[in-house]
Structure 1
């Protein structure tokens, strides 16, 4: 690596002098010697790049006439290899993804400037490494080329490992951003699903509005699945594997798949009867199917044929991507299309995060990467068979699992929605609509319900000797008292009370949940909520 300069030349694109000083002071307090120039127009940036080339560019994204996207485009047009970091008060998930795909090296929120100095140091080291690489490549063209070839190859491998590490760091940044909005977004979806369900309960099966409401309900479920997909992909939400029947899952989402692919695509499903089960998170299995189908649909813009097949297999081909499963029997899911196909280079990068062959704004590049992550987590493997103009066939191999013995429901019912017997439930939720929906569902389900908008209010109700609650249903992420302290206080006041959590996003390192307490994921259905409440009351879980 080249020697680091004594002083770092910083070009700061910022229309606020106060914010500029804040950024520079933060870097200087980290031990960096900064010589900076502030500009706020394209002409100012163009002049600085031409006459006073910087070591690094930091750009605000909130300026009214010259944002980070325009600054990045201007920098790339000069051909200069200069790191570009976005610093913004707020930035949307799509904007952040688009900027990184366009060439931004990182983004840092202004309320988390502690990340800025390490990001600057990292990107400067990368830039200096690239300069060294260019000098090395020039030297290789001299008489010493043969003797230095091995050394260069080793450096290439090291830089590739560093690139992969930096990619992981960027994914972590995107994941933190996703986690910040997941909770509120799932609450909104819960409101849509909840009130849609109430209206559907009042309409007869032949009502003309029923198909429209069912489409709204399906759309809300798909949006919830996409949110969960991003959280799982970002390692912010753990998967919950269970033994599932692949044929059943395909059958359950067939109607949704048919609407997704459109009428210009011939669609066929061929499932092998008596297929073994697999062990995987059902949501992740649905994501695998949906992402493969969406990818196949995108490869056939002018129509074609798409087939889904399930089958059993005794081995995994040697060409499979991923570690070969250790099972002796496998369940296969194949999605085949007659679309444009993939050349070898596209196949090589097909499962790479953020890689996409679609135009800007037409794909996130996370679809097949998420498929690979889900299959790898389930100890499976994938094969890709494709060629330009010859369509694509992707097969997922998952270890077979024995079909579980069906047990009778704990309340003695035979598959109908579990109902209450007048038990008293306290709902603790700061979102007014979710609180109202939960209360309404539970009341209709046969329970006596009270609610509280804050944990302090909930504690007053729990400690009231005239009230005897059987179960507490509480959101995980709420302002005020930490969730663990809240649960411990409730249990000291009422040792016999049962507890169930509900949340759209629980992976927060600052919040520790007590072990053994079940969680209902938002947005939840009436059946899911009532079943969990009944199961918890019957089992005595606390």
Structure 2
């Protein structure tokens, strides 16, 4: 059974067009066709209906095969384009194929036409299938990014809620217990019951400190109330006091407030990088910088620790075995940014994150560096 084939013929001679159609019919096709020989006519038929293949003469009085090829390309259509000509040299044919033609057949060798059409139709279907796969992959990636972004938003909301409940509910309850114990201590005076009460007060104070620390670790209020530079300075000061690490923080003048997603992502990337330093680097000093550089907001975390094999770490991250590095990359990717790290054993580590300035769409532009030091 003959296969239907929609053929757009760019040909000025009716007899040559009939020869082409006859050859296609002999090759097992049932061609339906339109014949054009001007650019205007070709535009009309391209807009009017779909085509499986374009077969074009190379040179015509009012049109050329190259002009027809350019017109097809301008429409963004991926349709096999085959030149059939009786007066075309090999160099000209090769130039036409470099310009985008899929094949050329001499009119004196029309026996090559059907195999060429069959091959190009198959290749066109492969290209369409590839585009469909790429489109589906792109859509799946977009949905995965949207899901990841939503999950991180939910995580930050939960962190904020739990931190609030720890501070306001459990913290206040422990404070009330402490006040009651202090009242009991006053009543006990120096009697035998005073010792256990003092021990209970010490336990409650320790629990209060742990609750405050956990609340701050979950979601520091400085990040919501004062912005990224202030939250970073508070966090680094806290880690320096707790670990004895010498910390240097450099912050350039930034817009008043960055978008919340950028502030959160940058803070979490910095937090993860500093946590890695404290856990693994064996460093004595740490430098953190936040600044505008070119078209990016740049965050740098550098230490003088023992370093590591950066290539091996990248392989582990790619394989899903290094969740910290993966987390930093995912957070940066969700705001259109990047994270890179470099390290040499014995020579410290540098983590660098960048966010395009175009993503910084805060409504105001007042300096925030001064507030960061308050």
Using the size of structure 2 for normalisation, the TM-score is 0.40
Q: Which structure shows the bigger proportion of residues in helix conformation?
A: 2
Taking structure 1 as the reference length, what is the TM-score of the superposition?
0.30
